[in-house]
């Protein structure tokens, strides 16, 4: 009877402590969400409940009320769940500060989602192995052997997927681009909008999504228009008739370029004479832009300004030259008929062909080798 009363008092105190602990944990989660904009969601609420329940069970644990075997098993499962969920929540909080605050705020580096997920997965796998070894007291040697065989079979079956995954990890260790950059891959230009485990997604100026497997991107040449800075060069080639002096043409091209909207004045545009021949000169115009999203519009602004300036200054753009040959089929037929008469006459005069009619001589001429 006395033990029952003691247990009832202990049970009531344990409930009060557990409830208070549950609300304290919820308060901490609320402060984390509001002060740091950290998204931990309902999983943190579940962790708070499980941890409070574990504390409740731990406080009311008394020999005789629950069997020793039952106490041990329940304690281990509660402890395993609490450790695993606690590590997950702690990992989310700590890594969020590392990725967003340290790298994002202080170093201005946008850490890809792929690297975040891989780091979290590695920590959770290590936690699972440690729980198996030290909470459930299981030997990991057999588990590791079985896991190795399973991993080998899975690696062979998923070799293409794993190739893309490894390439994605390599891209995140030494990232050639980040989300928001404008890049060119295998002739396709677009803005990087997502880098995941398997592929990279580009958004083109045609409002299409182009998906490149990471394994393909890792083996291709990549042009990043935003690195090391957003300001980058564009080139335009023009053929001009050689009637105008190169200096005058260069000055005109540079003035038109600086007047076009979207062209940066610094660094200043450059114009070079690449080559010349009997009728035309080849020029290359180099200018700088900053917003690659509208690079097609900027190029149009430059070429339109050049066209109007050339019309005002009477600078001609040469048209392609073609050589045209006219063949008179009637004259050819006349020559053919004359040749035919010249050949048929000697055949008719030969004694061996005297028995042949005229149509036979004509057929012989047409089919025989002269």
Residue 93 and residue 191 in one domain: no
Domain containing 74 equals: 2-138
Q: In this predicted structure, what is the pLDDT of residue 143?
A: 63
User: Pick from 175, 265, 278, 283: which is nearest to 222 by CA?
Assistant: 175
Q: In this predicted structure, what is the pLDDT of residue 330?
A: 52
Residue 244 and residue 286 in one domain: yes
Residue 126 and residue 215 in one domain: no
Residue 96 and residue 183 in one domain: no
Q: What is the mean pLDDT of residues 273-295?
A: 89
pLDDT in tens, 297-307: 999 999 999 99
3-state helix, strand, coil in the chain (%, to 5): 60, 15, 25
255 — pLDDT class (breaks 50, 70, 90) = very high
Q: In this predicted structure, what is the pLDDT of residue 169?
A: 67
Residue 219 and residue 337 in one domain: no
Residue 243 and residue 219 in one domain: no
Residue 208 and residue 248 in one domain: no
Q: In this predicted structure, what is the pLDDT of residue 218?
A: 79
283: three-class secondary structure by DSSP? strand
Residue 309 and residue 346 in one domain: no
Residue tagged 């190739």 (tokens): 163
pLDDT in tens, 307-330: 999 999 888 877 666 656 565 555
Answer yes or no: is pLDDT of 4 > 50: no
Q: In this predicted structure, what is the pLDDT of residue 28?
A: 82
- Pick 292 or 330 by higher pLDDT: 292
Tell me if 171 is assigned to some domain.
Answer: no
DSSP 20-66: HHHHHHHHHHHHHHHHH----HHHHHHHHHHHHHHHHHHHH--BTTB
Residue 132 and residue 14 in one domain: yes
pLDDT averaged over the chain?
78
Single residue among 224, 255, 280 that ends a domain in this structure: 224
d(Cα 190, Cα 36) in Å, to the nearest integer?
33
* CATH code for position 208: 2.30.30.60
Q: In this predicted structure, what is the pLDDT of residue 7?
A: 45
Residue 185 and residue 309 in one domain: no
Q: Choose the weakest-confidence range: 147-156, 212-221, 274-283, 336-345.
A: 336-345
Out of 36-50, 69-83, 125-139, 152-166, give the one with best mean pLDDT: 125-139
- Pick 327 or 60 by higher pLDDT: 60
Residue 211 and residue 306 in one domain: no
Whether the predicted model's global pTM rises above the 0.85 cut: no
d(Cα 147, Cα 150) in Å, to the nearest integer?
5
User: Is 190 within 8 Å of 183 (Cβ atoms)?
Assistant: yes
Q: Which residues face 287 on adjacent strands?
A: 234
Rg (CA), the chain: 42
Q: In this predicted structure, what is the pLDDT of residue 269?
A: 93
Domain count, the chain: 4
pLDDT in tens, 129-147: 888 888 888 777 766 666 6
Residue 30 and residue 68 in one domain: yes
Q: Choose the weakest-confidence range: 6-20, 130-144, 172-186, 314-328.
A: 314-328
Distances, alpha carbon 210 to alpha carbons 103, 191, 200, in Å? 28, 10, 8
Tell me if 72 is assigned to some domain.
Answer: yes
Give the burial class of 213: count Cβ atoms within 10 A of its Cβ; 0-12 exposed, 13-18 middle, 19 or more buried. middle
31: three-class secondary structure by DSSP? helix
């Amino acid at each position: 009877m006395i033990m029952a009363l003691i247990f009832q008092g202990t049970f009531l105190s344990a409930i009060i402590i557990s409830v208070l602990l549950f609300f304290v944990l919820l308060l901490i989660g609320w402060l984390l969400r509001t002060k740091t904009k950290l998204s931990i969601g309902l999983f943190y609420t579940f962790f708070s409940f499980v941890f409070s329940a574990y504390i409740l069970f731990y406080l009311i644990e008394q020999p005789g009320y629950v069997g020793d075997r039952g106490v041990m098993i329940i304690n281990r499962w509660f402890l395993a769940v609490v450790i695993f969920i606690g590590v997950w929540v702690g990992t989310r909080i700590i890594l969020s500060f590392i990725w967003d605050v340290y790298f994002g705020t202080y170093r201005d580096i946008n850490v890809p989602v792929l690297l975040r997920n891989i780091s979290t997965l590695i920590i959770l796998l290590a936690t699972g192995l440690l729980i198996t070894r030290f909470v459930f007291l299981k030997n990991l040697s057999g588990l590791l052997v079985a896991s190795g065989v399973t991993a080998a079979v899975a690696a062979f079956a998923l070799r293409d997927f794993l190739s893309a995954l490894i390439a994605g990890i390599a891209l995140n260790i030494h990232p050639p681009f980040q989300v928001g950059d404008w890049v060119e891959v295998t002739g396709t230009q677009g803005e990087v909008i997502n880098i995941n485990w398997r592929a990279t997604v580009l958004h083109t100026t045609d409002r299409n999504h182009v998906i490149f497997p990471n394994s393909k991107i890792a083996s291709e040449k990549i042009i990043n228009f935003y690195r090391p800075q957003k300001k980058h060069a564009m080139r335009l080639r023009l053929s001009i008739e050689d009637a105008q002096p190169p200096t005058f043409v260069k000055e005109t091209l540079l003035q038109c370029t600086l007047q076009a909207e979207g062209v940066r004045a610094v660094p200043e545009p450059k114009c070079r004479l690449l080559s010349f021949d009997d009728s035309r000169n080849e020029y290359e115009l180099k200018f700088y832009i900053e917003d690659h999203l509208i690079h097609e519009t900027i190029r149009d602004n430059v070429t339109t300004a050049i066209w109007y300036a050339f019309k005002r200054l009477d600078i001609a753009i040469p048209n392609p030259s073609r050589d045209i040959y006219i063949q008179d089929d009637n004259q050819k037929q006349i020559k053919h008929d004359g040749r035919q008469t010249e050949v048929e006459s000697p055949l008719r005069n030969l004694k061996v062909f005297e028995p042949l009619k005229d149509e036979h001589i004509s057929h012989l001429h047409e089919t025989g080798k002269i």
